[in-house]
Amino acid sequence: MAAIAQTSAKLSLQAKPVQQRGNRSTAVAGVSQKAKSVSSVRGSAFTGSCNKAVFATRQNAVASRRSLNVSASTSVESPPQSYKDLNIPPGVVTGDNLMKLLKFAKDKKFAIPAVNCTSSSVINSCLMAAQKANSPMIIQFSNGGGQFIAGTSTASEGAKAAVAGCVAGALHVRALAELYGVPIILHSDHCAKKLLPWFDGMLEANEEYYAKNGVPLFSSHMLDLSEEPIEENLEICKEYLARMDKIDLLLEMELGITGGEEDGVDNTDVDQSELYSKPEEIHEVYQALQPISEKYTVAAAFGNVHGVYKPGNVQLTPSILGNSQKYIKEKEGLEEDKPVYFVFHGGSGSSREEIREAIDYGVIKMNIDTDTQWSYWDGVKNFVGENEAYLQGQIGNPEGDDKPNKKYYDPRAWMKYAEKYTIDRLMVAYEDLNAVNACDL
């Protein structure tokens, strides 16, 4: 936790400037949404030294790119032969490089694990697992996780604390990710309508970072408006995607409801029919978002449930995803067999066969939270079990009443166990997701 705070203070939303691509602006100002319905956008304004000519050039470029997005899937490009062909540098991946990576995952039929992180130790566990697997990793923060990173005494600050914690976590990742030699995606998890101030705060941090560095702080963010009518869900997503596209951010949206309970959101008693998305609904998402930007993914519901369950207790129907891909291809007259990038929520307790079937249908990301929470605790539990006699006081153990125990109760000792167990669990996830050595494919 201290490492995150130090990183945040040191970097203060600054990073080594990078060369901007094309006619990217030097600054993008925030767009505020109406608090209740988020139904209107005041517009965006370029700040800094950007003049009207640059503004017009950039707007034309964005409009041109958007006009191509609708037909982008009508032809099938030859996939790269190997990961090296993508020319993606190690570290945090954003924008076009992110889309290249996700398309590569879809073409090569692997998915990337996404872990909710609540401390610098959990973050480092993910980075080390990615390095060991030689594969991409998605490090993500929930609203509650961001608040925890900011410090439990800041809880009364609400969205402000959650934003600060997530930004601090993101800066920590950016300071270290390149050292691990693999691509890292920075993401935020479920954001319900009531949490939109948190989402807005993170977007403002991204816009500030983009103005200074030419890239966003995060790679992507998730809006979970699945509890709202689909029309409202899509309208809000459209407004945010238009804003996010200006600074190369990807939007993950949710359609249908993921069952179970996670991070204070309890869907254990929802109508079972809500756990399964319909192809027609996923097509509506495609029609609404594709004209704006290709940078979006869909967390469709196919029976998946948050939490941990014995195999067989969760009735997954991955074929919903495959049927939806076929439906959209037919309706839109596309050559691309899998035009949608799907996300798998509630992966704990799923069988390897179900996971890989979902990947065959276009899943490129799977969330893993419950299992990594357990693995972290399991490491601590086993450390205590193995060294119990050395953890009863600062001095005195089986080797003598005057022998010190500092090397056993030093947080680094038991946190290493927690990290090791988490890395081991994530290696299983990489196997499940066909993603071991993805950077050598």
Residue 13 CA to residue 243 CA, distance in Å, equals 20
369: its two tokens = 């939270």
**Single-letter amino acid, residue 183:** P
Phi, psi of 402 (to 5 degrees): -105, 10
Q: What is the DSSP string of 200-267?
A: HHHHHHHHHHHHHHSS-SSSEEEE--TTS-HHHHHHHHHHHHHHHHTTT-EEEEEES--BEEETTEEE
What is the 8-class DSSP label of residue 182? Answer: S
Secondary structure element (H or E) that encloses residue 140, with its range: strand 137-141
Residue 228 CA to residue 233 CA, distance in Å, equals 6
**Single-letter amino acid, residue 27:** A
Secondary structure element (H or E) that encloses residue 430, with its range: helix 411-432
Handedness of CA 59, 218, 95, 232 (dihedral sign): negative
140: its two tokens = 């993500």
Q: What is the DSSP string of 16-45?
A: ---PPPTT--S------B-TTT---B----
SS3 content of the chain, % helix, strand, coil (to 5): 50, 15, 35
Catalytic, out of 85, 107, 189, 402: 189
Three-state DSSP class for residue 337 = coil
In sequence order, what are the residues at sequence separation of 6 or more whose Cβ sits closer than 8 angstroms to the Cβ of residue 23? 54, 57, 58, 61
Known catalytic membership, residue 432? no
Looking up tokens 């086993």 gives 382
Residues 337-348: b if buried by 16+ CB within 10 A, e if exposed: ebbbbbbbbbbb
Three-state DSSP class for residue 433 = coil
CB 362 within 8 A of CB 279: no
Q: Annotated active-site positions, please?
A: 189
